[in-house]
């Protein structure tokens, strides 16, 4: 690793000013992607602003019809949280399947979505459930938040504070994990609720996307049978050592059916 | 240089670190706690697993400064009074280790599992161990050891 | 049987230190004033090195020195040798281009060592490494086993035209052709034995420490055979007297073959410690392990089996291309020849076998022995052929094996491929395995799977291996540059404890326990009183180390012989003490007795007398410390049957191993618990090869595409089932313990069993490893479409 200055502010404002005061500052959330990246010397920030000491960024609460998850809440905390399990069990299930136990004990929802790895699970949850991303400056709808591979709508220095998930009537998530990295080769979130009927796919393309054919097929009720014949074109899907685009297209259908079955 | 303070295996320690110093480096190089190992650079093998405030984490993917003010337990501090923790004992009894390199992380991870789920079935154990790679045992005896430790620890 | 003796599942003595974090691995060792090495490695698969400007790096903070191949050349540092000369079909030795620890003219694979930076900290060394300016002239590269011999392929070494290392044959081609001419049916298979990266969990490490006062070196290294490493470094690389180097291989975190070899990094650390007058340490990060540990396997094979109308094997022809990588690693040449083609008879009476092996150079990391080394490749060829033959002939796969097994009354059995098997009972293992798996119930289980939308398959692998390598005269006649005996020194200490110094090296095998059981049993002393010392050339007689499942069969036999010498000397002392003639003194359970009397002396009393010889026989030297060197009379031949049962989800192509039965004949067993653990681990690596692991280089650029655990798929706990392990026993006829070796069996048997099960489930004849979900999904779909 190249060396850097480490900051550990106690408030969001202090974090924002530490970031603006740095030459090339980066936010350190759970570190599960950033620290390996630094170890490989693929990044050389001058400063890391560690959000780990900011209490207000952690925790889960119910707010109106939404479950609000603080940006620095770990995957493990989401997976075992009683509110999440009661209101959006599919979200708890998704969080429980991220990385491994130790990654879940450190990795955070804010860090994951800010990184927007095309194979991450959370983007499917946010888009599929129609969530809203809250930052220190504004609120951003999930549909507008994920803008491309490793790209988001966040401005420089903007800090995610929480994600608000409207409580769905039904939701289900199914994932086919890469056998080596255990990231999603394909992950599909199916949900119906205040945000409508939504289907979001991660892992398959350069960025999470909605599957409108599946959404219409599920319009009259969530079931695996309803989406049995929904297919996606392989063109434009990711292709790598582990899965060609054709295979991913097949997995989208299989995971879609499983997610629908889990939701129904 | 920044200073960090934490409690490691019940002992208060303080040390000077760089921004980039990893918790595992602090443990191995400054505290000479070499039982925690480094087996990969992509946070996957789990040879470096320790407990921070009671949760298992990969110490190769946590900066020493992130652990400032925490309570850290390493394999050296798992058992009290020089003996073996029931998990260590079960690994010995069921031959859950061969070369011993992944063992400290494996044991620390397994202890965290039983903290959260005192009665895991074989599938839950195997799933939990996703973050710990062993090249020697084929996991068979590790799974058996954890099942046995669970039984013993439930009493 | 005593609770701690031979045959007992004694808990391991070494475990306490490993379980409490008190193991001492190479990277745990630090020397005062030590510096750190960082290797500048080639980013190109093939490039000329036109110049290296190291001035910026030398000027960087914390840097002590920067060295290149030219600096080593100036010190007359030699090439890393390949210790086994394979003569080709014309009797010419293999092509042996030089392999310098730091490249001199060209870099020949991604990760090749180009320069080393020595600095006060690792970070300083690595920072400066980025300042070393290497002027590369990029060249076309060839990384494929199947393309290295192509006429237009990039040439790696002037010394090896056409990238051919050797073209080697075993057997009589004309006889084989004659057998094939008589055949009722010929089964043909094309196989790829996928390249693997060994991935011991402890990355390689080295710490070189030069002592100016005595002009001598200590090298701490993650080695499976410290004496061999010392021999190679002294005799071949540095031209150094052997009394000037001490190699210490402390606790080593797994090897699987990859830590047998003499590597560039440890060579450079040792050499550099004298240049900079300070200890020099290097520890691989995992990325370096991927690029620069010796890889394993990597064969392409076309094989044919000729049969009569009853499925009786008449002859076999095998044509293999084996990838050596960019340079010849220490024992690489022997792996696809003497450790491979000699095993092609398998457990069968195939009367004629002809094998042709071409070894090729490519722009990839060197390839050498990896758990099984040649024998997994041979078993894969034989057991895939047999399985496909059974399907083509419509014969049950168990039955076709039975029809061709070498029968118990045929031993010793001379195969047509040089080896003479001493003993075995192959049908006994098969019968037991069929019972354990409930073979008769398979059809019912398959139907049950089908009703759940799953495809179920069963696969066999009747493997054999040649272990306990090997009679020195035999391997010498085949080109080995070393003898393959083992040493043991058994030292009775004055107050009754015993220290055993063994040339074998434990890196997970549990020698401290099993060897202690052997010694405690033989000498009749408590196991707590035995200490096993290994891994330090400074305290142990010259030994040959651990690989090829040889530690017990060869190293244990040496210990047994040394114990015999202890007993014989003690008998003389006891006879003197008891005023009896030596012939009348019997030894049992640690006590000498005069036959027909109540006179007795414990061996501990005798040992004390040997060191305090106040009342002592005149013709016996004081002390009780005996050394034995054991040279085996033959290889040992562990064999068995593994049966794998899989269930495939055709919608995703995911294969789940739902049952695994292993029945192995390892001869006599010292510690069943340890043996079972070795079997489990071997199966996991074999299943890893069959389902998950695959080392991939980009065909054009030669870049390593599977350079981390993100892409190289290691078997995890949730990829594997629990295994059911059974044993049969025919005792080895030619070593004092009747043992055969168990470390590699699982890795040898498992790939064929797994692929046979998957192809059985899919209703096809063949597929290549690894059986990734996508590959299986495609094949399942093709079958479904063909059926519709």
> What are C119-132's pLDDT values in tens digits?
999 999 999 999 99
Secondary structure, 3-state, chain B? CCEEEEEECCEEEEEECCCCCEHHHHHHHHCCCCCCCCCCCCCCCCCCEEEECCEEEEHHHCEHHHHCCCEEECHHHCCCCCCCCHHHHHHHHCCCCCCCCCHHHHHHHHHHHHHHCCCCCHHHHHHHHHHCCCCCCCCHHHHHHHHHHHHHHHC
Sort out which chain B residues have CB atoms less than 8 A from A35's CB and list them: 22, 43, 61-63
Share of chain C above pLDDT 90, in %: 98
Q: Which of C18, C28, C680 sits opposite B137 (nearest CB)?
A: C680
Retrieve residue C552's tokens.
């017990």
Instruction: Give the pLDDT confidence score for residue B1 in this predicted structure.
Output: 86
Q: How far apart are CA C255 and CA C204, in angstroms?
A: 9
CA-based nearest residue to A222, from A260, A248, A182: A260
pLDDT beyond 90 at C785: no
Residue A132 domain-assigned? Answer: no
Domain that holds residue C131: 31-139+204-292
Sort out which chain C residues have CB atoms less than 8 A from A184's CB and list them: none
Q: How far apart are CA C732 and CA B129, in angstroms?
A: 39
C303 and C278 co-located in one domain:
no
Residue pLDDT, tens place only, B47-59: 999 999 999 999 9
Which CATH number covers residue A186? 3.30.390.50
CA-based nearest residue to C655, from C647, C645, C663, C665: C647
Q: Is omega for the bond preceding C252 within 30 degrees of 0, making it cis? A: no
Retrieve residue B95's tokens.
């031959």
Sheet holding C133-138, edge to edge: C106-107, C47-53, C133-138
Instruction: Note which residues in 409-468 of chain C have CB less than 8 A from chain B.
Output: none
Radius of gyration of chain B (CA): 15
pLDDT band at residue C787 under the 50/70/90 scheme: confident
Contact A1 C714 (CB under 8 A): no
Shortest alpha-carbon distance between residue A248 and chain C (Å): 9
Sort out which chain C residues have CB atoms less than 8 A from B126's CB and list them: 716-718, 720
The DSSP string of C687-710 is HIIIII----B-TTT--BS--STT
Q: How far apart are CA A88 and CA A129, in angstroms?
A: 9
Q: How far apart are CA C19 and CA B77, in angstroms?
A: 11
Q: How far apart are CA C757 and CA C643, in angstroms?
A: 8
pLDDT beyond 70 at C45: yes
Instruction: Note which residues in 638-667 of chain C have CB less than 8 A from chain A.
Output: 651-653
**Lowest pLDDT segment from C225-234, C517-526, C541-550:** C541-550
Radius of gyration of chain C (CA): 27
Sort out which chain A residues have CB atoms less than 8 A from C128's CB and list them: none
Instruction: Give the pLDDT confidence score for residue C784 in this predicted structure.
Output: 87
Sort out which chain A residues have CB atoms less than 8 A from B112's CB and list them: 101
- Where exactly are the structural domains of chain B? 3-77, 86-154
Residue C319 domain-assigned? Answer: yes
Contact A101 B131 (CB under 8 A): yes
Q: Report the pLDDT averaged over residues C545-554.
A: 94
Whole-Å CA distances, C524 to B10, C270, C512, C671: 44, 43, 17, 17
Residue C188 domain-assigned? Answer: no
Q: Which of B38, B102, B140 sits opposite C680 (nearest CB)?
A: B140
Number of folded domains that form chain A:
2
Minimum Cα–Cα distance from A102: chain B residue: B57
Shortest alpha-carbon distance between residue A183 and chain C (Å): 9
C159 touches chain A (CB under 8 A): no
Q: Let me know if C469 is exposed, middle or buried by CB neighbors in 10 A (0-12, 13-18, 19+).
A: buried
Contact A101 B128 (CB under 8 A): yes
Its pTM stands at 0.97
Sort out which chain B residues have CB atoms less than 8 A from C11's CB and list them: 92-93, 95
Shortest alpha-carbon distance between residue C64 and chain B (Å): 21
Fold topology of B3-77: Ubiquitin-like (UB roll) (3.10.20)
ipTM: 0.98
Fold: same for B3-77 and B86-154: no
Give partners of B (≥3 CB pairs < 8 A).
Answer: A, C
Residue C254 domain-assigned? Answer: yes
C313 and C423 co-located in one domain:
yes
Q: Which of B42, B45, B130 sits opposite C718 (nearest CB)?
A: B130
Q: How far apart are CA C594 and CA C597, in angstroms?
A: 6
Residue pLDDT, tens place only, A133-147: 999 999 999 999 999
Instruction: Give the pLDDT confidence score for residue B80 in this predicted structure.
Output: 86
C543 and C620 co-located in one domain:
yes
Residue C475 domain-assigned? Answer: no
Contact B66 A31 (CB under 8 A): yes
Contact A176 C710 (CB under 8 A): no
Retrieve residue C364's tokens.
């990839």
Sort out which chain A residues have CB atoms less than 8 A from C709's CB and list them: 180-181
Residue A241 domain-assigned? Answer: yes
Query: Is C620 in contact with C614 (CB distance < 8 Å)?
Result: no
Q: Which of A31, A40, A100 sits opposite B62 (nearest CB)?
A: A31
Contact C723 B45 (CB under 8 A): no
Instruction: Note which residues in 188-247 of chain A have CB less than 8 A from chain C.
Output: 241-244, 247
Instruction: Give the pLDDT confidence score for residue B82 in this predicted structure.
Output: 84
Shortest alpha-carbon distance between residue C405 and chain B (Å): 30
pLDDT beyond 80 at C228: yes
Domain that holds residue A239: 170-263
CA-based nearest residue to C624, from C692, C572, C677, C699: C572
Q: Which of B20, B66, B113 sits opposite A4 (nearest CB)?
A: B20
Residue A15 domain-assigned? Answer: yes
**Pick among C19, C23, C534, C719 to test the B interface (most B CBs inside 10 A):** C19
Contact C710 A241 (CB under 8 A): no
Residue A90 domain-assigned? Answer: no
C121 and C223 co-located in one domain:
yes
Residue A12 domain-assigned? Answer: yes
CA-based nearest residue to B62, from B97, B36, B82, B93: B36
CA-based nearest residue to A88, from A178, A172, A17: A172
Strand, helix or coil for residue A35: helix
Instruction: Give the pLDDT confidence score for residue C373 in this predicted structure.
Output: 97
pLDDT band at residue C2 under the 50/70/90 scheme: confident
Residue A54 Ramachandran class (φ > 0 left, ψ -120 to 50 alpha, else beta): beta
Share of chain C above pLDDT 70, in %: 100
C426 and C314 co-located in one domain:
yes
Instruction: Give the pLDDT confidence score for residue C191 in this predicted structure.
Output: 98
Residue pLDDT, tens place only, C98-127: 999 999 999 999 999 999 999 999 999 999
Whole-Å CA distances, C492 to A97, C406, C496, C505, C563: 57, 45, 6, 21, 10
Minimum Cα–Cα distance from C288: chain A residue: A40
Residue C664 domain-assigned? Answer: yes
Shortest alpha-carbon distance between residue C461 and chain B (Å): 19
Instruction: Note which residues in 130-189 of chain A have CB less than 8 A from chain C.
Output: 176, 179-181
Shortest alpha-carbon distance between residue B39 and chain A (Å): 13
Domain B86-154: top CATH class: mainly alpha
Q: What angle do CA C546, C547, C553 make, to 5 degrees?
A: 75
A254 touches chain C (CB under 8 A): yes
Shortest alpha-carbon distance between residue B56 and chain C (Å): 16
Minimum Cα–Cα distance from C289: chain B residue: B40
Half-sphere exposure of C51 (CA within 13 A, CB side): 2
Where helices occur in C585-671 by DSSP H, the ranges are 603-611
Query: Is A201 in contact with A187 (CB distance < 8 Å)?
Result: yes
Shortest alpha-carbon distance between residue C358 and chain B (Å): 31
pLDDT band at residue C1 under the 50/70/90 scheme: low
pLDDT band at residue C473 under the 50/70/90 scheme: very high
Sort out which chain A residues have CB atoms less than 8 A from C713's CB and list them: 179-180
Residue C241 Ramachandran class (φ > 0 left, ψ -120 to 50 alpha, else beta): beta
Sort out which chain B residues have CB atoms less than 8 A from C683's CB and list them: 138
Helix (H) or strand (E) holding A95: helix A89-96
Residue A62 domain-assigned? Answer: no
* Averaged confidence pLDDT in chain B: 97
Instruction: Give the pLDDT confidence score for residue B154 in this predicted structure.
Output: 87
Contact B138 C681 (CB under 8 A): yes
Residue A199 domain-assigned? Answer: yes
**Pick among C12, C18, C723 to test the B interface (most B CBs inside 10 A):** C18
Number of residues written out for chain B: 155
Shortest alpha-carbon distance between residue C29 and chain B (Å): 9
C367 and C463 co-located in one domain:
yes
- C141's CB contacts (< 8 A; 6+ apart) are C44, C45, C46, C154, C363, C700, C701, C702
Which CATH number covers residue C231? 3.90.1170.50
Query: Is C424 in contact with C349 (CB distance < 8 Å)?
Result: no
Q: How far apart are CA C365 and CA C712, in angstroms?
A: 15
Q: Report the pLDDT averaged over residues C568-588.
A: 97
Contact C285 B41 (CB under 8 A): yes
Q: Report the pLDDT averaged over residues A102-128.
A: 98
Phi, psi dihedrals of residue C347, rounded to the nearest 5°: -95, 15
- Residue C619 has a CB neighbour count (10 Å cut-off) of 7
**Pick among C777, C781, C785 to test the A interface (most A CBs inside 10 A):** C777
Contact C774 A242 (CB under 8 A): yes
Shortest alpha-carbon distance between residue A246 and chain C (Å): 9
Retrieve residue C147's tokens.
């393309």
Minimum Cα–Cα distance from A184: chain C residue: C710
Residue pLDDT, tens place only, C733-760: 999 999 999 999 999 999 999 999 999 9
Shortest alpha-carbon distance between residue B19 and chain A (Å): 5
Q: Report the pLDDT averaged over residues C155-180.
A: 98
C122 and C214 co-located in one domain:
yes
C338 and C400 co-located in one domain:
yes
Q: How far apart are CA C315 and CA C329, in angstroms?
A: 33
Contact A105 B57 (CB under 8 A): yes
Shortest alpha-carbon distance between residue C288 and chain A (Å): 12
Q: Report the pLDDT averaged over residues C661-679.
A: 98
Please tell me what DSSP assigns to residue C354.
E
Q: Is omega for the bond preceding C470 within 30 degrees of 0, making it cis? A: yes
β-strand partners of C205: C283
- Would you say the C-alpha torsion C282, C288, C289, C292 has a positive or negative sign? negative
Q: How far apart are CA B107 and CA B66, in angstroms?
A: 23
C121 touches chain B (CB under 8 A): no
Which CATH number covers residue C352? 3.30.365.10
- Would you say the C-alpha torsion B97, B101, B103, B106 has a positive or negative sign? negative
C620 and C582 co-located in one domain:
yes
Residue pLDDT, tens place only, C376-434: 999 999 999 999 999 999 999 999 999 999 999 999 999 999 999 999 999 999 999 99
**Pick among B83, B140, B148 to test the C interface (most C CBs inside 10 A):** B140
pLDDT per residue as tens, chain B (155 positions): 899 999 999 999 999 999 999 999 999 999 999 999 999 999 999 999 999 999 999 999 999 999 999 999 999 999 988 899 999 999 999 999 999 999 999 999 999 999 999 999 999 999 999 999 999 999 999 999 999 999 999 87
Q: How far apart are CA C136 and CA C412, in angstroms?
A: 58
pLDDT beyond 90 at C527: yes
pLDDT beyond 70 at C502: yes
């Amino acid at each position: 690793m190249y060396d850097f200055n480490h900051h550990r502010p106690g408030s969001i404002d202090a974090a924002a000013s530490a970031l603006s005061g740095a030459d090339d500052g980066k936010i350190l959330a759970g570190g599960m992607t950033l620290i390996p990246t630094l170890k490989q010397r693929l990044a050389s920030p001058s400063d890391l602003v560690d959000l780990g000491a900011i209490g207000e960024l952690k925790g889960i609460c119910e707010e109106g019809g939404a479950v609000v998850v603080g940006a620095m809440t770990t995957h493990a905390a989401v997976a075992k949280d009683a509110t999440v399990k009661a209101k959006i069990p599919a979200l708890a299930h998704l969080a429980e399947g991220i990385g491994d136990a130790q990654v879940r004990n450190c990795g955070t929802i804010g860090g994951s979505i800010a990184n927007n790895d095309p194979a991450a699970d959370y983007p499917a949850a946010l888009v599929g459930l129609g969530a809203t991303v809250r930052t220190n400056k504004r609120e951003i709808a999930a549909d507008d938040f994920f803008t491309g591979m490793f790209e988001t709508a966040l401005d420089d220095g903007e800090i995610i504070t929480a994600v608000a998930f409207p409580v769905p009537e039904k939701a289900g998530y199914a994932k086919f994990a890469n056998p080596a990295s255990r990231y999603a080769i394909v992950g599909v979130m199916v949900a119906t609720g205040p945000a409508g009927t939504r289907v979001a796919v991660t892992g398959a393309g350069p960025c999470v996307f909605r599957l409108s054919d599946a959404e219409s097929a599920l319009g009259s009720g969530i079931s695996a049978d309803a989406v049995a014949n929904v297919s996606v074109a392989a063109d434009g899907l990711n292709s790598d050592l582990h899965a060609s685009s054709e295979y991913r297209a097949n997995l989208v259908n299989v995971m879609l059916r499983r997610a629908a079955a889990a939701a129904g | 240089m920044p200073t960090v303070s934490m409690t490691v295996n019940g002992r208060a320690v303080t040390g000077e670190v760089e921004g980039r110093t990893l918790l595992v480096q602090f443990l191995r190089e400054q505290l000479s706690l070499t039982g925690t190992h480094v087996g990969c650079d992509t946070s996957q093998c789990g040879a470096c697993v320790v407990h921070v405030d009671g949760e298992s984490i990969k110490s190769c993917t946590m900066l020493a400064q992130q652990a400032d003010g925490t309570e850290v337990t390493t394999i050296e501090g798992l058992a009290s009074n020089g003996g073996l923790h029931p998990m260590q004992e079960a690994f010995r009894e069921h031959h859950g280790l061969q070369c011993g390199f992944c063992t400290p992380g494996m044991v620390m991870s397994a202890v965290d599992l039983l903290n959260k789920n005192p009665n895991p079935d074989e599938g839950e154990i195997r799933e939990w161990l996703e973050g710990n790679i062993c090249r020697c045992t084929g996991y068979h005896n590790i799974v058996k050891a954890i099942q046995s430790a669970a039984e013993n620890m439930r009493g | 049987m005593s609770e701690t003796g031979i045959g007992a599942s004694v808990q391991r003595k070494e475990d306490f230190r490993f379980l409490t974090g008190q193991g001492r691995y190479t990277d745990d060792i630090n020397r005062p004033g030590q510096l750190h090495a960082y290797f500048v490695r080639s980013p190109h698969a093939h490039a000329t090195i036109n110049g290296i400007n190291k001035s910026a790096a030398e000027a960087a903070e914390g840097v002590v020195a920067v060295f290149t191949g030219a600096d080593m050349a100036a010190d007359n540092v030699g090439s890393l040798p390949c210790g086994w000369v394979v003569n080709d079909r014309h009797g010419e030795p293999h092509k042996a281009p030089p392999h310098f620890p730091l490249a001199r003219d060209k870099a020949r694979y991604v990760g090749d060592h180009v320069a080393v930076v020595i600095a006060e900290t690792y970070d300083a060394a690595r920072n400066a490494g980025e300042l070393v300016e290497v002027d590369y002239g990029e060249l076309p590269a060839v990384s494929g086993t199947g393309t290295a011999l192509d006429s237009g392929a990039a040439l790696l070494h002037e010394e090896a035209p056409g990238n051919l290392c050797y073209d080697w044959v075993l057997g009589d081609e004309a006889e084989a052709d004659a057998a094939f001419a008589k055949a009722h049916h010929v089964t043909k298979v094309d196989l790829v034995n996928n390249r693997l990266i060994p991935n011991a969990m402890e990355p390689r490490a080295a710490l070189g420490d030069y002592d100016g006062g005595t002009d001598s070196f200590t090298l701490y290294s993650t080695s499976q055979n410290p004496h061999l490493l010392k021999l190679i470094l002294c005799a071949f690389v540095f031209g150094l007297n052997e009394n000037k180097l001490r190699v210490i291989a402390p606790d080593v975190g797994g090897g699987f073959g990859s830590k047998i070899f003499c590597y560039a990094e440890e060579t450079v650390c040792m050499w550099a410690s004298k240049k900079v007058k300070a200890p020099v340490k290097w520890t691989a990060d995992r990325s370096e392990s991927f690029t620069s540990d010796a890889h394993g396997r990597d064969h392409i094979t076309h094989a044919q089996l000729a049969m009569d109308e009853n499925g009786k094997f008449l002859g076999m022809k095998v044509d293999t291309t084996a990838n050596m990588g960019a340079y010849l690693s220490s024992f690489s040449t022997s792996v696809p020849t003497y450790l491979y083609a000699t095993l092609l008879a398998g457990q069968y009476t195939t009367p004629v076998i002809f094998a042709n092996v071409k070894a090729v150079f490519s722009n990839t990391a060197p390839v050498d022995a990896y758990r099984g080394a040649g024998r997994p490749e041979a078993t894969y060829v034989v057991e895939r052929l047999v399985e496909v033959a059974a399907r083509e002939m419509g014969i049950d796969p168990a039955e076709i094996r039975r029809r061709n097994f070498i029968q118990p009354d045929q031993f010793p059995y001379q195969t047509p491929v040089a080896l003479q098997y001493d003993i075995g009972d192959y049908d006994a293992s098969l019968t037991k395995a069929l019972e354990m798996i409930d073979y008769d119930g398979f059809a019912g289980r398959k139907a049950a799977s089908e009703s759940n939308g799953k495809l179920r398959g069963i696969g066999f692998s009747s493997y054999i291996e040649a272990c306990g390598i090997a009679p020195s005269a035999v391997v010498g006649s085949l080109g080995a540059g070393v003898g393959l005996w083992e040493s043991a020194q058994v030292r009775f200490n004055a107050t009754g404890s015993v220290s055993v110094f063994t040339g074998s090296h434990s890196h997970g095998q549990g020698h401290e326990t099993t060897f202690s059981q052997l010694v405690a049993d033989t000498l009749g002393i408590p196991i707590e009183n035995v200490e096993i010392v290994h891994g330090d050339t400074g305290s142990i007689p010259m030994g040959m180390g651990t690989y090829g499942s040889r530690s017990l069969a060869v190293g244990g036999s040496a210990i047994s012989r040394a114990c015999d010498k202890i007993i014989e000397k003690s008998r003389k002392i006891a006879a003197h003490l008891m005023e009896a003639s030596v012939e009348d003194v019997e030894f049992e359970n640690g006590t000498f007795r005069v036959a027909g009397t109540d006179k007795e002396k414990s061996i501990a009393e005798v040992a004390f007398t040997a060191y305090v010889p106040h009342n002592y026989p005149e013709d016996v030297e004081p002390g009780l410390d005996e050394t034995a060197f054991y040279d085996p009379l033959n290889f040992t031949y562990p064999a068995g049957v593994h049966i794998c049962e899989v269930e495939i989800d055709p919608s995703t192509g995911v294969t789940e191993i739902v049952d695994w039965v292993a029945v192995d004949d390892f001869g006599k067993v010292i510690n069943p618990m340890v043996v079972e653990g070795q079997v489990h681990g071997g199966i996991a690596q074999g299943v890893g090869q069959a389902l998950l692991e695959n080392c991939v280089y980009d065909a054009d650029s030669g870049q390593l595409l599977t350079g981390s655990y993100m892409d190289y798929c290691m078997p995890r706990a949730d990829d594997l089932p629990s295994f059911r392990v059974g044993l049969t026993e025919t005792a080895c006829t030619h070593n004092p313990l009747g043992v055969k070796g168990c470390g590699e069996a699982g890795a040898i048997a498992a790939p064929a069993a797994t692929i046979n099960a998957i192809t059985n489930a899919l209703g096809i004849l063949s597929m290549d490893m690894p059986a990734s979900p996508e590959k299986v999904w495609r094949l399942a779909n093709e079958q479904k479409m063909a059926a519709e």
